[in-house]
Amino acid sequence: MLPDKDGPSQGGGGTADPGGSEDPAVSLFREYLRLRTVHPEPDYGAALRFLDRMALELKLPAKKVEVLNWSRDPPASSAVSCAPTRRFVPPSLFLISSFSLRYIEAVRRLRARGTTLPRTVHFLFVPDEEVGGHAGMEMFVKHPEFTKLNIGFALDEGLANPGESYTVFYGERNPWWITVKCPGDPGHGSRFVENTAAEKLRRVINAFLDFRESERKRLNTGECFTLGDVTTVNMTKVNGGVAYNVVPAHMDVSFDMRIPPTVDLQDFEERIKRWCREAGEDVTYQFAQKHMDQEVTSTADSNPWWSAFSTACRTMNMNLKTEIFPAATDSRFFRAVGLPAIGFSPMNNTPILLHDHNEFLNERVFLRGIDVYECLVPALASVAPGPGEA
């Protein structure tokens, strides 16, 4: 949600109260939303100053880790806030969220009560995915600072749920971004040129979109009840051609594919190779992104982290729905290094408006989320040490 130029947004059911009776957490959230961190002119400095101020208010040490990316976007910065709790029970707990204010307010309440935790809790704030957040997270996980933290579990953001229940994601689909290159014979637009790039492109598009349709039909049938259970394929870019009367020598088409962890990825790539061979001579492909890790986090009671999470939710009378996340989050980088992670945002009764205009969060849902984290953080930070953790 972006703020209006003349003041905070009024979307989502909350209203500004000039009389001062508004919950302080909501007022702080409004201030947080007014930070201009969107492109093309993001003010990351203001965001970092805000987080520094929160660390001072909560009396928590904060450390900034600068991550340099060679990309079209400016270098991304991230800040890590580490709670000064006792460290005699490694490893620690890692919390990441786009709704950072709810974490901050939950910690504020816990600190005000004098709560102490047997594990160290780390809070990580990174830029949003559109400006290098995922890339920054991947580099951070491989950074020496991460290995020093000795993390045991990660809680990442999830999705809203329009119903009463709360959705929890124990795995996610692998994002594959692929461009198929179709070379062909050039010529004048007045002739029937043979072996054209466009003919090959049509066969490629048909193959990918026919598969897309078959997966769409599988959704909500049999065991495929959610979007995370099937593979989505969407054609997102087409390039080629120089003039109306010139048959192009090259045409390219790009697809965004999201593949469930139940799919054999090697077999799936062999399918892509076959589509390219059948499309015509010299049709090739290359990946812009090809995530291969298919680890999922156990939701069995034998997993102490899941047991602590689900038990705490039951005490708050929360009905949980476990799913495979349909898109991609930072959790995949933690699972790739062997760290159990789940995606969760306490946002029920909230429409899913990812990348939509006027994305909002109801004030009551926002405040309820603080209550949830106030219960979850101590529960997860109190998980008993497992084998090799003493």
CATH of domain 11-172+296-380: 3.40.630.10
pLDDT of residue 333: 86
Average pLDDT estimate for 325-347: 88
Instruction: Give the pLDDT of residue 66.
Output: 65
Give the pLDDT of residue 213.
Answer: 96
Residue 98: predicted pLDDT:
52
pLDDT at 250: 97
pLDDT more than 70, % of the chain: 81
pLDDT given at position 241: 96
Give how far the C-alpha of residue 6 lies from the chain's centroid of Cα atoms, to the nearest Å. Answer: 30
What is the reported pLDDT for 77? 32
Give residues with Cβ within 8 angstroms of 33, minimum separation 6. 1, 2, 3, 8, 9
pLDDT at residue 347 tops 60: yes
pLDDT at position 63, please?
82
Query: pTM for this structure?
Result: 0.81
Q: b/e for 23-51, b at 16 or more Cβ within 10 A?
A: eebbebbbebbebebeeeebebeebbebb
83 contacts 107 by C-beta, under 8 angstroms:
yes
The pLDDT of residue 97 is 57
pLDDT above 70 (res 129): no
Query: What is the per-residue pLDDT across 150-199, written as a single tens digit (0 to 9) for each?
Result: 778 888 888 888 889 999 999 999 999 999 999 999 999 999 999 999 99
Share of the chain above pLDDT 90, in %: 54
Q: What is the CATH number of domain 174-260+262-290?
A: 3.30.70.360
Q: Which segments of the chain are extended strands (E)?
A: 62-67, 76-82, 92-96, 121-125, 151-156, 166-172, 174-183, 187-188, 232-240, 246-247, 250-259, 284-290, 320-325, 341-344
pLDDT score recorded for residue 101: 86
| pLDDT of residue 21 exceeding 90 | no
Domain boundaries, the chain: 11-172+296-380, 174-260+262-290
Q: Residue range 253-258: average pLDDT?
A: 98
pLDDT confidence of residue 35 = 86
- What pLDDT was estimated at residue 86? 32
Of 385 and 46, more confident: 46
* pLDDT one-digit tens code per residue, 57-99: 999 888 887 654 343 343 333 333 333 333 333 456 666 555 6
The rounded Cα 23 to chain-centroid distance in angstroms is 29
Q: Picking from 153-157, 210-214, 264-268, which range would have the lowest pLDDT averaged per residue?
A: 153-157
